[in-house]
Amino acid sequence: MSEGYFPAGKSMLRQVMQERCVGLMYGQRALCIGALKPLNYVGTVEHSHQLETPFKRLSRTATMFEHVYFGTREEADATLASVASMHTRVHGELPHDAGPHHPAGTPYDAMDPSLMLWTVANLADSSAWFYEHLVQPMGPAQAEAFWQDWLRFGELFGLAREHAPQTYTAFRLWFSEQLAGNDLFLTDEARYMGYMTAFGIPMPASRQPFKHVHDAVMMYSLPGRVRELYGVRLSASQRTAAQLTIAAQRRLRTVTPAALATGSCIPSFRAVAHTERERIASGQWTPRPSDHLERGHLPSLSHRRSATSRHA
């Protein structure tokens, strides 16, 4: 068996992603922000076969990414081949208007470099945010190595390097420009599921006591423009809770053995998918895309915490 694409001790991407506090949270934030681009969100949903079990689908995606981050080349290549096969079928036209810049009939294709870059950029930005806040800051050389690894990750999925910012500094400038762009738009479904992906994750009952801390840190992590577009706000109590949690986590990480703080998050991904499956089987509430048609708005965090606790 060969060494993977991101070898231990040599890859900054691997160093970041193997931190469990990063692996457990980066995907939720990336998907919440990623939903702001209608072609990415609608294109994915239109070709998904697991719409009513969104967290099963997200668990599967997160697991596949771990195979690429941490697996051997043989394991990664098997995953990459599976994803490439799926992506060849993801193309079409928007069935409905999705904001002033994306009228019905606008074409999309999973292999469009701009769509692929937006996906990779959100993974990189979110993983960097949690690593630098919950573990330790990256120096300039580490940040550059980190971005070069993400460029490699993009290449593995078919994103040619010339279609992406070439340096970490250029990436940061490009991403800031994207978040300030006037083409960002949330469809009703994207608003609901983007929010629920970040704040409505079906955690197992054993982890429900920590849900409010999770929500505070997640809300704190979102850029102001993103919160504005979702119509949510960071309260003073959430800010304080997040800052205290971040400070505590960084102190804890300095004394926690690597064997406990690092490693695969796949068991946690499976636990979320299992909780979602149990709730559906017992007729309990769990977030689904069709909910936005019934609810028409985002539930408050306090309301949703009590709802998820009841259904845990």
What's the CA dihedral at 273, 277, 280, 284 to 10 degrees?
-70
Average pLDDT over residues 235-239: 96
| Tokens standing for residue 214 | 């999770």
Average pLDDT over residues 188-205: 93
pTM: 0.92
What does each C-alpha distance from 136 to 143, 262, 264, 292 come to in angstroms? 12, 14, 19, 38
Q: What pLDDT score was predicted for residue 295? A: 52
Taking only the tens place, the pLDDT of each residue in 98-119 is 999 999 999 999 999 999 999 9
Q: What pLDDT score was predicted for residue 306? A: 35
Structural domain that includes position 268: 12-310
How large a percentage of the chain has pLDDT more than 70? 92
pLDDT value at 27 more than 90 = yes
Residue 68 within a domain: yes
- Amino acid 80 reads L
What does each C-alpha distance from 142 to 69, 138, 196, 257, 263 come to in angstroms? 17, 6, 33, 22, 20
Residue 2 within a domain: no
Residue 176 within a domain: yes
Residue 5 within a domain: no
Residue 81 within a domain: yes
| Contacts of residue 10, Cβ cutoff 8 Å, sequence gap at least 6 | none
pLDDT value at 1 more than 80 = no
Q: How would residue 253 be classed by pLDDT, with cut points 50, 70 and 90?
A: very high
Residue 43 within a domain: yes
Residue 3 within a domain: no
| Tokens standing for residue 169 | 């500094």
The domain total for the chain is 1
pLDDT value at 32 more than 50 = yes
